[in-house]
Amino acid sequence: MKDVAKLAGVSASTVSRVISNDSRISNKTKKKVLKIMEELNYYPNTIARSLANNKTDTIGVIMPSYKEDIFINPFFQKALKGISLIASQHFFDILIVTNHKEESDVDVLKRIIKGKRVDGLILTRPKEDDGGIKFLKENNVPFVLIGSCLEYDDIPSVDNDNEQASYDLTALLIKKGRNKITFIGGELDSVVMKDRYKGYLRALKDYNIPFDEDYFISDKFLEKSGYYLTSRLMSLHNNLDAIIVADDLMSLGALKRLKEGEKQVPEDIMLASFNNSMLAKYANPSITSIEINSIELGRRACQKLFDIFEEKSRENKEIIDYKIIERESTSLKKGVN
């Protein structure tokens, strides 16, 4: 910067003001300084700027148990894409925050925040707060949650209405004339899963469809879970006519089992699922699934974070639309896709 200042015959302050587009600098000097900057191939040191003005132009993104995630959830990538789209419009970059070695989830937050590495955070925490949210609240850190948090309902967040989505999916099956509708769930400790369970029950109740305790069973989000849980359902109920599955991957397992059991999908048993991955689209038959629009989720979360920066007040909790993508697995007339 000094070099630029010297060559342009001005002070460093002036150069600084040109960089930050200060209105008080005359057009003449601005042009001159910009020319010199160009000539010298000068770019300001971002780190030094950050130190001086306590701003990093960076947002941190924290993913849930990113390291452990054995099966790689496409949600991550889509949300990240949405986030990055908005961030880049605001000239911000994205720091992927990862636990260093043995570091706990709370410690990593403290390190990043107290270390002043980011201006704000986007996090995804489907479960209960482990102390991280508390820490962020106490320290007035701008942050947005993708998903929900049981302990606090006053934190800025974007989420799907998972309960309603599940309700709609159940209602769809009911309207197609099904009345032994079972549900294969994933890990039960997530809020998402609990909401889906609720929505399912509510729909059954609203439409006066019988519910039996063992209509609802669950296990991990794996294909094989889908497979063997379907086995169990089939042995428990010889006349079930619909299965809702918590994830497309699981639904493939279910589908496999149904085919082995000589059950026709959708004729004998209809299948519907969540997350609308490629797998649902390209399965045979293709599977009706809930599109949760992860890109939009990321986009809106990031937008919300900038709203917080700019102190625009908005709804604390934003609900993102989902869509039911109807496919062959719930359509009796052939050829629908």
Partner DNA sequence: AAGATTAATGCAAACGGTTGCATTATAATT
Partner DNA sequence: AATTATAATGCAACCGTTTGCATTAATCTT
Q: Which residues bind a copy of itself (CB under 8 A)?
A: 41-48, 50-51, 56, 58, 61, 66-67, 69, 72, 74, 76-78, 80-81, 84-85, 87-89, 91, 93-101, 110-112, 114-117, 249, 252, 277-279, 282-284
Q: Which residue has the tokens 């010298």?
A: 40
With contacts defined by CB under 7 A, name the span among 41-49, 102-110, 167-175, 298-306 that binds DNA. 41-49
If one asks whether residue 112 binds DNA (CB under 7 A), the answer comes out as no
- Is residue 74 involved in binding DNA (CB under 7 A)? no
Residues in 130-149 that interact with DNA by CB under 7 A: none
Q: Of DNA, a copy of itself, none, which one does residue 56 interact with (CB within 5 to 8 Å by kind)?
A: a copy of itself
Of 125, 135, 136, nearest to 158 (Cα)?
Answer: 125
Min dist CB 262 to a copy of itself, Å, is 16
Q: How far is the CB of 112 from a copy of itself (least distance, A)?
A: 8
Options 18-26, 69-77, 89-97, 310-318: segment touching DNA (CB under 7 A): 18-26
**44 is an interface residue for DNA by CB under 7 A:** yes
Could you give the CA distance from residue 136 to residue 144 in angstroms, rounded to a whole number?
Answer: 10
Contact, 259 vs 283, CB < 8 A? no
Q: Which residues neighbour 3 within 8 Å (Cβ) at sequence distance 6 or greater?
A: 40, 42
What DSSP character marks residue 97? P
Q: How far is the CB of 292 from DNA (least distance, A)?
A: 40
The H or E element that residue 18 is part of is helix 12-19
The correct pick among 39, 40, 51, 128 for binding DNA (CB under 7 A) is: 51
CA angle centred on 143, ends 142 and 146, rounded to 5°: 165
Tell me: does residue 67 bind DNA (CB under 7 A). Answer: no
* Neighbour tally for 145: CB within 10 Å: 24
The amino acid present at 40, given as its one-letter code, is L
User: Closest separation between CB of residue 227 and a copy of itself, Å?
Assistant: 12
Q: Is 131 left (phi over 0), alpha (psi -120 to 50) or beta?
A: left
Question: What does the block give as tokens for 97?
Answer: 């925050």
Site residues for DNA per CB under 7 A: 1-2, 9-17, 19-20, 22-30, 44-45, 48-49, 51-54
